[in-house]
Structure 1
Amino acid sequence: MASIQLKVAKRDAKNTKVSDVRRQGFIPGVYYINGTESVPITSNFKDLKSIVFTSLTNVVDLEIDGEENRKCILKEVKFDPITDEILHFDLMGLTPGNKIVVNIPITLIGQSVGVRNGGILNHVLRKVKVRCLPKDLVETIEVDISKLKIGKLIKLDEIDLGDLEVVVKGNAVIAGVSRPRVATAGTTIEMDDDEDEDSIGEEGAATEGGEGEAGE
């Protein structure tokens, strides 16, 4: 997978307050790797936004004060609850051979036959927490929905994830196509589908012979 370059500077955490760092126009952060001491760092918004405001999982080539690049991923970002400004960021270093836990986004590809026939697509599960080696990281998990019919579901355990190990087990629903509804004379009528076995509720909840919910 492709990586993103990021240059940062070391931060004197003992003698400089994070509020002072922000007033100077920089964003405080920390780089850490399991088993070693963390390194306080700073970045600017222009350089940081490409790894924060993305739906993909990216490997970051981190350069600290001109030192040799270190492979890492963005582990956590804190935002101001009022202004949505970035307050702090955490970068976790990657070590070959050591597995990590990370959320990978799910991307639906193709146009389902159900949608072409008038159904409504419900994308329920948008990311999944997995455990894997750094070399097996992917930007996104692509799920082909081209054969998805009205009233049918695609579930997580039906997808080949390769070397990605799902952390939270369960038969979560990724996506489904619900029946269209036609309003006539003030009455809403569901379009029938003779192959219906599973269905998606209006709010994206999965139902199998009854009502149930599927979340991320």
Structure 2
Amino acid sequence: MTVSVIQFGGSNCDRDAVQALEEIGVGAELVWHEDGLPEDTSGVVFPGGFSYGDYLRAGAMAARSPIVEAVREAADDGTPMLGVCNGAQIGSESGLTPGAFTTNRSARFQCEHVHLRVENADTPWTAAYDEGEVIELPIAHGEGRFEVADERLAELEDADRILFRYCDEDGEVTEDANPNGSKHNVAGVLGERDSVAVLMPHPERAAFSDIGPTDGQGVLQGFSE
């Protein structure tokens, strides 16, 4: 049983995702989107990058690949799926997760470390943390601002479908701690099932003890449940 890391034209965090999963003992392999979803797939990652040059909208073209429908069917059967950065954009564009990711408030590409507060620790992706715990992950995006209608956001909050919010190092959710202007500082959300999630920060870039903090390992452990 293996986690399939889906490659699209322009993906560039795909190998990072494989190595990070293998670092925590989870088998993973690269899967070119045109080759279809392998039958032994035990989980799916939509990795970061710039699929199809972010033409139309970030993630819009990749979301129309036939493999995404196969991922949707697998997710409906309970297969865990995680979208990271461009993968989060693909998840939202395909309707696997709610809302949309659009141009940063700064209108610039941003690459930096941010703090996140765990909003719901009762999911596969956050079970390694405590509710309210603050973790540190890097971001690298130009279109990371989460947007959703106010009414829909209220529904997501009522259903505990917000995974992470941007915060300061003390866990305070403030405007200054919001790197991209995301509504209510949202950094990650769940799909209809808690086995489906997307987030804009990169857990796979914070998973190796020999090069820095390993706060991202807890997110990736969602594939080992």
Q: Which interval holds the TM-score relative to the shorter structure? A: under 0.3
User: Which protein is richer in strand relative to its size?
Assistant: 1
Larger of the two Rg values belongs to structure = 1
Give the TM-score normalised by structure 2: 0.23
The TM-score with structure 1 as length reference comes to: 0.24
Q: Which has the higher contact order (CA 8 A, sep 6+)?
A: 2
